């Protein structure tokens, strides 16, 4: 996608079709999980993932139905069998039914959310939330105990998240949002005071070829005492220092998330706690890496500076 305007059109169309699915699956259906699963399976099968999987499974470790393991140089297309959907978890190439893969993915993503609730966030912000897939699931299985803010570029994505949140009575609000101009998010925080906020992005910064450092500094500058971030984004190649062409990523996909975070860490603004390539991916390429970091409070930065001065014998 050359620009966000085109990307918005594409996602408006895509999530509009998911909104139709959501109405068909959720209207009059009190079973959240059943509706959520059906929407996911149908969306993934008809969406770009389904198209890519149907076209071919290529590359290292791809296993054909006859059990042949393919090498790097493989260019033969292997038709996708949804009962043997390829996925990567912690670097291991595996297969499962599409529904199993969806649950494995949500399970390990949910574990990361749970592991980051120790600071008792007052709000959980889903950046580039799409139709609300992740926030709806997390909110439901956190027993509605946390407020979620679904920040999304497309109108239809927000409409779908709003619709499902209302039907299943989940504490989720949707906010118009653009990574290239995050005024709406900053305005939201100027009107609502929070001291502890957890942010996450799941395969959304991937769509921003160059994320501006100011996107992060504008959030770090807010008077929020504790800020934590979780990213699951396909940036293995950035972390491992490989050429982008090895990643199976679209040409417009992100190129600088990792270097921006490293820069912020070098400046003492954040502390990166987890960097895990090949964390999880549907398909055997373009896998999501896990990155977690938190804002370094000014107190911490001061004590770090004091320690440095002590060390240099200047005090
Ligand atoms: C691959 S989808 C992932 C959606 C969701 N995170 C999920 O896991 O289902 C990428 C999302 O990023 C959104 N997006 C793309 N460009 C954006 C931008 N400039 N600002 C905000 N969101 C954007 C798209 O509209 C889309 O909903």
Reference 264, options 215, 225, 299; nearest CA is 215
Whether residue 315 is contained in a domain is answered as no
Which CATH number do you get for residue 288?
3.40.50.150
pLDDT the model gives residue 67: 47
Atom of ligand 1 nearest to the CA of 154: 25
The answer, yes or no, to whether any atom of ligand 1 lies below 6 A from the CB of 157, is yes
Ligand 1 within 6 A of CB of 152:
yes
Examine residue 156 and state whether it is found in any structural domain, yes or no.
yes
Asked if residue 90 belongs to a domain, the reply is no
In a domain, 78, yes or no: no
Q: What is the CA(131)–ligand 1 centre distance, in A?
A: 9
- Dump strand ranges (E) for the chain: 85-89, 92-96, 123-127, 148-152, 172-176, 196-202, 226-233, 270-282, 288-295
Q: Please list the rounded mean pLDDT of every run of 10 residues in the chain (315 residues).
A: 86 94 97 96 74 50 45 47 83 90 96 97 98 98 96 98 98 98 98 97 96 98 97 95 77 94 98 97 83 83 50 47
For residue 127, being part of any structural domain is answered with yes
The answer as to whether 83 is a domain residue is no
Distance 176 CA to ligand 1 centre (A): 12
Pocket of ligand 1, candidates 4, 125, 128: which has the most ligand atoms within 8 Å of its Cβ, to mutate? 128
Do 113 and 145 touch, CB atoms closer than 8 A? no
Ligand 1 geometric centre to CA of 7 (Å): 9
For position 46, what pLDDT does the model report? 73
Residue 3 domain flag: no
How many domains does the chain contain in total? 1
Q: Is 275 exposed, middle or buried (0-12, 13-18, 19+ CB in 10 A)?
A: middle
Inside any domain, residue 140 = yes
Q: Rounded to the nearest 10 degrees, how much is the dihedral formed by the CA atoms of 11, 13, 18, 24?
A: 160
pLDDT of the residue at 86: 84
Parent domain of 161:
98-302
Q: Show the CA angle centred on residue 110, arms to residues 129 and 31, nearest 5°.
A: 75
Q: Which atom of ligand 1 is nearest to the CA of 202?
A: 6
* DSSP-assigned states of every residue in 168-204: TT--EEEEE--TT-THHHHHHHHHS--SEEEEEEESS
CA 243 remoteness from chain centre? 22
Q: State the pTM of this model.
A: 0.88
pLDDT at 51: 58
- The per-residue pLDDT for 298 is 65
Is 154 close to ligand 1, i.e. is its CB under 6 Å away?
yes
């Amino acid at each position: 996608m050359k620009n966000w305007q085109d990307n918005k059109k594409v996602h408006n169309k895509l999530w509009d079709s998911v909104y139709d699915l959501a109405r068909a699956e959720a209207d009059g259906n009190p079973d959240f999980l059943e509706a959520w699963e059906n929407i996911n399976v149908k969306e993934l099968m008809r969406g770009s993932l389904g198209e890519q999987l149907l076209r071919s499974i290529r590359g290292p470790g791809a296993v054909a139905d006859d059990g042949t393991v393919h090498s790097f140089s493989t260019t033969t297309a292997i038709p996708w069998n949804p009962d043997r959907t390829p996925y990567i978890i912690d670097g291991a190439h595996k297969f499962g039914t599409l529904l199993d893969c969806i649950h494995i993915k949500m399970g390990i993503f949910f574990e990361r959310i749970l592991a980051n609730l120790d600071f008792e966030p007052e709000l959980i912000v889903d950046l580039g939330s799409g139709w609300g897939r992740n926030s709806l699931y997390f909110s439901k299985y956190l027993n509605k105990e946390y407020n979620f803010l679904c920040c999304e570029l497309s109108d239809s994505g927000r409409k779908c998240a709003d619709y499902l949140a209302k039907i299943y009575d989940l504490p989720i609000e949707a906010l118009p949002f653009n990574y290239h101009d995050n005024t709406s998010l900053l305005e939201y925080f100027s009107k609502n005071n929070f001291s502890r906020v957890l942010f996450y992005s799941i395969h959304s910064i991937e769509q921003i070829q160059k994320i501006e450092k100011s996107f992060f500094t504008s959030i770090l500058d807010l008077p929020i005492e504790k800020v934590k971030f979780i990213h699951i984004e396909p940036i293995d190649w950035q972390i491992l220092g490989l050429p982008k062409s090895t990643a199976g990523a679209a040409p417009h996909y992100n190129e600088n998330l990792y270097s921006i975070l490293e820069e912020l860490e070098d400046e003492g603004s954040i502390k990166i706690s987890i960097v895990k390539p090949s964390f999880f991916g549907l398909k055997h390429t373009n896998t999501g890496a896990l990155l977690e970091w938190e804002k370094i409070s000014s107190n911490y930065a001061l004590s770090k500076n004091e320690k440095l001065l002590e060390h240099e014998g200047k005090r």
